[in-house]
Chains A and B, each alone.
Chain A
Amino acid sequence: MGRPHAVQRRGGDARMTPEKWPGVELSAKEFYEKVTSVKFRPEAKFAWSAGEAMSRFLAELQDGRLIARTCRTCKRILFPPRMFCEECFRPTSEWVYVKDTGTIETYSISYLDLDARRIEEPIYVGVVSVDGASPKMGMMHYFGEVTPETIKIGLRVKAVWEPPEKRVGSVRDIRYWRPLREGER
């Protein structure tokens, strides 16, 4: 007794569990200085067609507006816009503008950049659900004019746009989303 059920049932102790498990660990020093390695840097470059829905979306961003697509079948207002509804699996119906206000669904305060390097000034980033679109539909973006104490899930926010001459047709045409001010809706 006292031995695990499965061991009793099998009628013996583990016949596997080898003495030595395979693999040889390398220290960073061994990897970079001792062991022969071969280096390579790929030179691949890309240009993506933004597609039918996203091209219009980006053009509207340049004009300082957010646009969505409606689906006549499921009655959703789809944001970001798409040319087909993935649930009804049929073409979407019409273009419709949505507001540049919304609600913070979630966020992070990041001390890491793209390459996992540490940064001093944190990035406030999260998901904002956009007013006028179906519930919970939104986009990832930056938040500004907030502190770790004032930012919270459920906070109402508004887009801060780049000036028109600086816009290029990118999600970065919105600089960040800031908290709604008193009297704003």
Chain B
Amino acid sequence: MRKVACIGAGMTLFRRRMLETPKEMCWEAAAMALDQAGLTIADVDAVVFGSAPDAFDGIHMKGENVLDGCGGTGKPYVRVFTGGGTAVFSPIAAYWHVASGTFDCVLVVNEEKMSSCQPHAQSVFGYIWDPILDRPLKPNLVWIFAMEMNRYMTVHNIRYEDVAAVAVKNKRNAVAHPCAQLPDPNITVEDVMNSEVMAWPVHRLDISPPSDGASALVICSQDFIKRKKVKSPPVWFSGVGWAIDTTFWTDRDLVFPEYLARAAKMAYKQARIDNPRKQIDFAEPYDPFDYKELHHMEGLLLCKKGEAPKLTREGVTQRDGDLPTCPSGGLLGVGNPIAATMGIKVGELYWQLSGQAGKRQIPHEVHTGVTNAWGDLMQFSAVAVMRA
């Protein structure tokens, strides 16, 4: 397979409500990524678009609706969809477009507009549940997280303040992100612990906000960089992986995401990583809820089962720590326009590893980063390892 790099990234502000239409947001992010790479749309061979359920926008087959804003007109164009996992999965789709030799340069655009859904995006989250087994119980999506968080905390005997510390770290990190929706330089563990109980053990400040936003990446081959004399610094994809577990989610132990461990092992094998904790310098684990960062650090095999809260407590995961996690500010701080969080996951790996993260730049040497995104009915994960 050919070597594949990211050579540019772009994103819009993440906000509760945006003036721009989905198509306009796509264009803003895509144009910025192309500008950064020093390219125009004419240099792009194919386009990959990623977005979460159509029901948020209320536009069925929204891939076609936003096509023009993604620069896909007249080109090979495809939409991929793995729920929240799309944030890392659509760049993987672009990766295989290029690694296979089918295309030299691919533009990836991810977009989400959750403000269109009234009165709250929560009501259409209800449509992901099984219609026979689950929906008669009138479930709320927060229940999933509450049940998983309780199982995780109880089995490993984890204190709530160690979970809340993740929300504090990420919302503080987000102060340095120019697109952030919920940065807070002064937030404390007490603020999180004293926030409203939504579905115990989940409190309001444990949750990332619904957001509007778009992000884009330019992904290309090594040959393309030489041929086009690309000046923008490349960051290489060294391993990718993805896996999904059964839809019968009440048949497995929620304490550990086995599907993520499987996806991580696939990516690490390709990246020749046999000791993730030593060989990986920083991570952007998917953090729609604070405990999910801990859950995903363990699923990514960055620590032992139940050990992630200890690393957080000891400051290891701070931006200047030994294993910074979510230096972007994550979904908790920057916002959660589901698929568009690509900009703070794979996008952050790109900006950190190419030294373009500005005030967010990790203050010591980093060569290798890993990120994951998680989706569907808490059963899917996509993983990408990138190197400078």
A residues bordering B, Cβ < 8 Å? Answer: 4-10, 14-18, 21-28, 30-31, 35, 39-40, 42, 46, 48, 50-51, 54, 58, 78-80, 82, 86, 105-116, 122, 125-127, 136-142, 148, 153, 170-172
Q: Is B36's CB within 8 Å of the partner chain A?
A: yes
16 CB contacts below 8 A, A to B, read A10-B233, A17-B356, A23-B13, A26-B18, A35-B19, A107-B147, A108-B146, A108-B200, A108-B202, A110-B140, A110-B143, A110-B146, A125-B143, A127-B250, A140-B134, A172-B136
List the one stretch of B96-104, B267-275, B362-370 in contact with chain A: B362-370
Which residue of chain A is the closest to B140 with respect to CB atoms? Answer: A112
Does any Cβ of A come within 8 Å of B205's Cβ? no
Considering residues A10, A46, A86, A112, which has the most beta carbons from chain B within 10 angstroms of its beta carbon? Answer: A112
Residues of B within 8 A of A5 (CB): 355, 364-367
The answer for the CA separation of A111 and B36 in the assembled complex, in Å, is 46
| Contact with A140, one of B126, B151, B250 (Cβ below 8 angstroms) | B250
> Are the CB atoms of A10 and B250 closer together than 8 Å?
no
Contacts of A109 in B (CB 8 A): 197, 199-200
A110 to B143 alpha-carbon distance, docked (Å): 7
Interchain nearest-CB distance for B201 vs A (Å)? 8
Q: Which chain B residue has the least Cβ–Cβ distance from A19?
A: B178
- Give A171 to B14 CA distance when docked, in angstroms: 40
Residues of B within 8 A of A79 (CB): 251
- Chain B interface, number of residues (Cβ within 8 angstroms): 76
Residues of A contacting B25 in the complex (Cβ-Cβ under 8 angstroms): 22-23
Does B40 belong to the interface (CB within 8 Å)? no
Which residues of B from 117 to 136 have beta carbons under 8 Å from A?
118-120, 122-123, 126, 131-134, 136
Bound complex: CA A35 to CA B196 (Å)? 32
- The CB with the most chain A CB atoms within 10 A, among B148, B151, B155, is that of B151
Contact with A along B192-218 (1 / 0, CB 8 A): 000011111110000000001100000
Distance in angstroms between the alpha carbons of A125 and B363 in the assembled complex: 45
B58 touches A40 (CB 8 A): yes
State A6–B351 Cα separation when bound (angstroms).
Answer: 10
Closest to A142 in B: B137
Q: Are A14 and B358 in contact (CB under 8 A)?
A: yes
Decide if B190 is an interface residue (CB 8 Å cutoff): no
Which of A17, A115, A127, A141 meets B358, CB within 8 Å?
A: A17
- Docked CA distance A142–B239 (Å): 42
In addition to A22-B12, A22-B25, 5 A-B residue pairs with Cβ atoms within 8 Å of each other are A23-B28, A23-B213, A50-B132, A106-B147, A106-B151
Q: Which residues of A contact B73 (CB under 8 A)?
A: none
B198 and A112 form a contact (CB under 8 A) = yes
**Chain A residues, CB < 8 A from B353:** 6
Residues 173-194 of chain B, each 1 if its beta carbon lies under 8 Å from chain A, else 0: 0000011000000000000000
